[in-house]
Amino acid sequence: MKKALFLSVLALSSLAAAEIRVGVIVSATGPAASLGIPEKNTVALLPQTIAGQPVVYTVLDDASDTTAAVTNARKLIQEGKVDLIIGTTTTPASLAMIDVVAEAKVPMISLAASEGIIKPVDAKRAWVFKTPQTDALMAAAIVQHMVQNKVRTIGYIGFNDAYGEGWASELKKNAAARGLKVVAEERYGRSDTSVTGQILKLVAARPDAILIGASGVPAVLPQKALKDRGYAGKIYQTHGVANADFLRVGGRDVEGAILPAGPVLVADQLPGTNPTRKVGLAYMNLYEAKYGKDTVSTFGAHMWDAGLLMQKAVPAALKKAKPGTPAFREALRDALEGTRNVIGAHGIFNLSATDHLGLDARSRVMVQVVDGTWKLLPSR
Amino acid sequence: MQIFDPSIFPILAADGLTNGAVYALLSLSLVLVFAVTRVIFVPLGEFVVFGTLTLAALQLGRVPGTLTLVLILLGLAALMDAAGHLRRRQAGRAALTLGGALVLGGCAWALTHWLAPLKPPLPVQVLLTLALVAPLGPLLYRTVFQPLQNATVLVLLIASVALHLVLTGVALVFFGPEGSRTPPFAEGNVTLGQVTLSTQSLLVMLVSALLMLALYLFFERTMPGKALRATAVNRLGARLVGISPSAAGTLTFTLAALIGALGGMLIGPSVAMTYDSGFLIGLKGFVGAIIGGLVSYPLAAAGALLVGLIESFASFSLSGWKEVIVFTLILPVLLWRSLATRHTPEDEE
């Protein structure tokens, strides 16, 4: 079925000659589906023409699986003859795709978090860009907030997978740099029915604050258990929980949680002088007009930002070559690398030959769960 | 050691027993399904997920996607039955089957659409959830496993794994990628001596114990229960004395779905259940069932309780290795079982 759809898209796309072909890979199923589905939905909102040239999108699902992502990337390049790949959702799969796109010399914009996807910019990563903030950027924000609030000792509980490991190492790196101490470190599984043991041990270590390194609704469980045990310190979450379902499922149990997030999460609370406010609100309105109220999430906005980078780069590349040629892909890569001051929903992109993300501290805000909704915390 | 600290040990033990009780229910139904139908029932975890998520959908006043699945399966099963009747040239019975399915499906549809938006009290929602999830068992048996009745254990296992993957996908479509939690049946705490337990976990243990007692009485005292036991002991012999293997299979799968859904609602308040949570939960029940050698009910239940306890203590002392510890448990058990039991060639029917 997927194959048939793919072939029919191919058949259609071979009718017109000069259109720009964009291959999209997202994790619409599997463990990363809660990120991949809004990303997939956002593709439908991307422009159908850029600088007068039609754009054809081919969307494939990698089921949160690394092998499938690589296969899809090959398929898009060899059969789809794409000029650009956007995706994929997860870090391991994005890392695996680097070799494929570098070999074929097709630019790729990843939607995954890890810094390792774009750093260091070597011969292979020269073809790879990404739009989401790195965990490093977000962890630095958390630790900065902790320092400002006189936190000295930190407890950590996170997923027993790549997500939890990544956050544990970022936290320790940042905490050490600012003179904070991580006094307890625990792990739990996404589908665990109880975290009583871990929480007992965490609370016994008496940290001033606890960071929960988890994403989506499973991040509710440790916070509920901490409340049940009467933990009175600050509780931090990661930006992986920044969607409406976390609030719906968490309810009273997640009240007071502090987390870093892309500004799009609280776009309507941003001051009018913040340039990302307008872009964020525009994206949210567009998304909710198509998919219904309260359906928008920050993850889809990464796809939107990738689309903005593409819209800026394509006209420049069109001046140099025709779509579908190696020269066009090369020009597109150069244009992406030369991106300056593109205002996205998540921040302002200024890329360079050494930085293929190009976001700075303006790409994150600290928010708190207050009365069952996100509240922007004043930045100091 | 810190684990044996009197302020920590009872809490961990109680926590382990609460989870263990749910695993025990699952391992009992795994043993039951395997004994009667020779199916290693991988998708049992999905019934747990459907139980929680159906109740969660009803909480929000939505019509759960489970209804669609039941209706599709009902239609499929009716078509298969009708085709069978037609092949035997019984057009009347075929029409009757289809008509009956239509009426039944219509009733289910009307009832759910009427009740769901009303947000009825919790007990009614629980009953509706059971009424929606339990039919999945017999319907899946009719459409997937009954046609494979005489296949080898391996073929049945492959079908079972395939069904697990299909149901996970179906759950994603119906319930979305984000998880849900259900409200607890009881709030507050109970203090027993030095230990403070939440009423909810006490309720979980109580319901599990009652359910096990009910199963025991069912197998010991009632005719259908005895028929199931007879089928488990000797399928051919049971058939010779007039017990239909299909009827036994249908009954078994109904029980499995019922127990799965109940388990899901029992742990629903404590876990944010997502569409793919079921596999790991089912797997822990499976470890218990393996300890019982997939034949002994008391050993399986005890094994599942052990899994819950080990999980709880491991999560305290070595949380990063918890899953490793729990599933490594299966190795010495397998070794011991392979040394302790004499090998008999698998009976081919």
Which residues in chain A have their CB less than 8 angstroms from residue B323's CB? 160, 189
B277 with A221: Cβ contact below 8 A: no
* Residues of B whose CB is below 8 A from A245: 178-179
How remote is the C-alpha of B328 from its chain's centroid?
A: 23
Which residue among B177, B267, B323 places its CB closest to the CB of A37?
A: B177
Residue A188 and residue A157 in contact, taking contact as beta carbons nearer than 8 Å: yes
Question: How many Cβ atoms sit within 10 Å of the Cβ of residue B338?
Answer: 9
Q: Is residue A14 very low, low, confident or very high in pLDDT (cuts 50, 70, 90)?
A: very low
Q: What is the pLDDT of residues A211-223, one digit of tens each?
A: 999 988 889 999 9
Instruction: Decide if B274 and A217 are in contact by the 8 Å CB cutoff.
Output: yes
Determine the residue of chain B that is closest to A201 in CA distance: B316
Asked whether residue B1 carries a pLDDT value surpassing 70, the answer given is: no
To the nearest whole Å, the CA of B90 is away from the closest chain A CA by 37
A245 contacts B322? CB cut-off 8 A: no
Nearest residue of B to residue A34, measured between CA atoms:
B177
Per-residue confidence band for B344, with pLDDT thresholds at 50, 70 and 90: low
ipTM of the complex in this document:
0.80
Q: Are A220 and A170 in contact (CB under 8 A)?
A: no
Interface check for A218 against chain B (CB to CB < 8 A): the answer is yes
Nearest-by-Cβ selection for B315 from A31, A188, A245: A188
**Minimum Cα–Cα distance from B177: chain A residue:** A34
Q: A350: which 2 tokens?
A: 């200024």
B8, B179, B273 ranked by CB distance to A200: nearest: B8
Shortest distance, CA A312 to any CA of chain B (angstroms): 32
| pLDDT > 70 in chain A, percent | 95
CA A367 – CA A25 distance, rounded (Å): 30
Q: Does A168 touch chain B if contact means CB atoms closer than 8 Å? A: no
Residue A83 in contact with residue A332, Cβ under 8 Å? yes
> Is the pLDDT reported for residue A106 higher than 90?
yes
Q: Please tell me the predicted confidence (pLDDT) of residue A216.
A: 83
CB contact under 8 A, A194 and B19: yes
What is the structure's pLDDT at A15?
44
Chain A residue with minimal CA distance to B175?
A34
Is B281 close to A195, i.e. CB distance below 8 A?
Answer: no
Task: Give the helix/strand (H/E) hosting A259.
Answer: strand A258-261
Distances (CA, A) of B294 to A129, A160, B31, B261: 52, 30, 5, 21
The beta-carbon neighbor of B169 closest among A29, A37, A192 is A29
Classified as helix, coil or strand, A244 is: helix
Residue B276 with chain A: CB contacts under 8 Å: 30-31, 191
Task: Specify whether the CB–CB gap between B264 and B26 falls below 8 A.
Answer: no
Nearest by CB: A191 against B15, B18, B281: B281
Dmax (CA) of chain B: 74
pLDDT at A5: 52
Q: Name which of B8, B178, B312 is nearest A217 (Cβ-Cβ).
A: B178
Mutation pick from A40, A193, A196 vs chain B, by most beta carbons of B within 10 Å, is A193
A187 touching chain B per CB within 8 A: yes
**pLDDT exceeds 70 at position B172:** yes
On chain B, the residues whose CB falls within 8 A of the CB of A188 are 315, 319, 322
Q: Answer whether residue A3 shows pLDDT above 90.
A: no
A198 inside 8 A of chain B by CB: yes
As a whole number of angstroms, the distance between CA B107 and CA A70 comes to 48
* Rg (chain B; Cα; Å): 21
Contact list, B281 vs chain A (CB under 8 Å): 191, 193
Residue A380: its pLDDT value, please? 61
Contact assessment for residue B233 and residue B243, using Cβ atoms and an 8 Å cutoff: no
Contact A257, A368 (CB under 8 A): yes
User: Do B181 and A217 make contact, defined as CB atoms within 8 angstroms?
Assistant: yes
pLDDT at B294: 83
- The string of pLDDT tens digits covering residues A151-186 is 999 999 999 888 888 899 999 999 999 999 999 999
- Dist CA A215 CA A112 (whole Å): 13
Contact A195 B315 (CB under 8 A): yes
- Asked if the model's pLDDT at residue B348 lies above 50, the reply is no
Averaged over B340-346, what is the pLDDT? 63
Contact B178 A188 (CB under 8 A): no
CA dihedral A155, A160, A162, A163 (to 10 degrees): -50
- Nearest CB neighbour to A197, from listed B270, B276, B315: B315
CA distance B28 to B294: 9
Alpha carbon dihedral A65, A66, A72, A75, in 10-degree steps, equals: -150
| Residue in A with minimal Cα distance to B273 | A191
> Can you tell me whether residue A376 is helix, strand or coil?
strand
A166 contact partners, CB below 8 Å, separation of at least 6? A91, A113, A114, A135, A213
Distance, CA of B163 to CA of B255 (rounded, Å) = 18
Chain B residues closer than 8 Å to A194 by CB: 15, 18-19, 270-271, 312, 315
State residue A6's pLDDT score: 54
pLDDT of amino acid A206 = 92
Q: Determine which of B9, B208, B318, B319 to mutate to test the interface with A (most A C-beta atoms within 10 Å).
A: B319
Against a cut of 0.90, is the pTM above it?
A: no
User: Which residue numbers of B have CB closer than 8 Å to A's CBs?
Assistant: 8, 11-12, 15, 18-19, 22, 169, 172, 176-181, 198, 267, 270-274, 276-281, 312-317, 319-320, 322-323
Separation between Cα atoms, residue B129 and residue A60, nearest integer Å? 35
pLDDT (mean) for B198-210:
89
Q: Using the beta-carbon criterion (under 8 Å), do A192 and B317 form an inter-chain contact?
A: no
- State the smallest CA–CA distance between residue B68 and chain A in angstroms: 20
Range with the largest mean pLDDT of A18-22, A209-213, B234-238, B296-300: A209-213
Name the residue of chain A whose CA is nearest to B9's CA. Answer: A197
Closest approach of chain A CAs to the CA of B227, in angstroms?
Answer: 35
Q: pLDDT digit string (tens) for B27-74?
A: 999 999 998 998 999 999 999 999 999 999 998 888 999 999 999 999
- With contacts defined as CB-CB under 8 Å, which chain B residues touch A203? none
DSSP string across A10-78 = HHHHTTSSSPEEEEEEE--SSTTHHHHHHHHHHHTTS-SEETTEEEEEEEEE-TT-HHHHHHHHHHHHH
pLDDT the model gives residue A18: 78
Burial B178-204 (b: 16+ CB within 10 A, else e): bbbbbebbeeeeeeeeeeebbebbbbb
Q: Is there a contact between A104 and A127 (Cβ–Cβ < 8 Å)?
A: no
Give the pLDDT score at A13: 47
Nearest C-alpha in B relative to A215: B178
Nearest CA in chain B to A164: B320
d(CA B317, CA B1) in angstroms, rounded, equals 10
Chain B positions touching A30 (Cβ under 8 A) are 276
Extract the runs of DSSP E, i.e. beta strands, from A65-142: 84-87, 108-110, 128-130
Which residues from A are below 8 Å from B8, CB to CB?
Answer: 200, 204
